[in-house]
Amino acid sequence: MQQQIAVITLGVVDLARSRRFYARGFGWAPVFENDEIAFYQMNGLVFGTWLADQLEADMGARAPARPGAFALAHNVPAREDVAPLMQRLAGVGGKVLRAADAPPHGGFRGYVADPDGHAWEIAWNPAWPIDENGHVTFAT
């Protein structure tokens, strides 16, 4: 079976607030949006932000939006890119969970929660190559 993740969907409370965060913070443009969901074409997968009650109804499970059970990471090309992006995200509704510093495993990273509390690690990881299409390869 393909080692493939097709979609990551985050439950959000306010679609316009979420849209602003991803558009103004990361600079990402949706490929599709309506009044309940926005889809972004990413590096070989699709990222969705969907009204949390719709996501809950779709998956048939209640969904308290708690931060921390998982994290998404966006990797930047240089160490110097980490702090400015975190600052921009914090300026558009994000909350800094951990200021940028150097973890034991190398590189440089910090964490920012999106307006719904979903954690994003903003990382510079010189060990993992990223091609021009944004495809990331594990390496040690």
Q: Which residues bind its own copies (CB under 8 A)?
A: 1-11, 26-29, 31-32, 39-47, 52, 55-56, 58-75, 85, 97-98, 103, 111, 113, 116-119, 121, 123, 125, 128, 130, 133-138, 140
| Phi/psi of residue 127, nearest 5 degrees | -80, -25
Nearest to 89 by CA among 53, 44, 127, 120: 120
Nearest to 136 by CA among 5, 27, 1: 5
Smallest gap from residue 118 Cβ to its own copies (A): 7
Q: What are all long-range contacts of 68-73, with beta carbons under 8 Å and residues at least 24 apart?
A: 68/119, 70/119, 71/111, 71/119, 71/120, 71/121, 72/8, 72/118, 72/119, 72/120, 72/121, 73/109, 73/120, 73/121, 73/122, 73/123
Smallest gap from residue 53 Cβ to its own copies (A): 11
Nearest to 102 by CA among 81, 123, 87, 73: 123
Looking at beta carbons only, is 83 or 130 nearer to its own copies?
130
Smallest gap from residue 46 Cβ to its own copies (A): 5
Looking at beta carbons only, is 1 or 16 nearer to its own copies?
1
**Count of other CB atoms within 10 angstroms of residue 35:** 7
Smallest gap from residue 69 Cβ to its own copies (A): 4
Looking at beta carbons only, is 55 or 94 nearer to its own copies?
55
Looking at beta carbons only, is 16 or 58 nearer to its own copies?
58
Smallest gap from residue 5 Cβ to its own copies (A): 5
Looking at beta carbons only, is 16 or 32 nearer to its own copies?
32
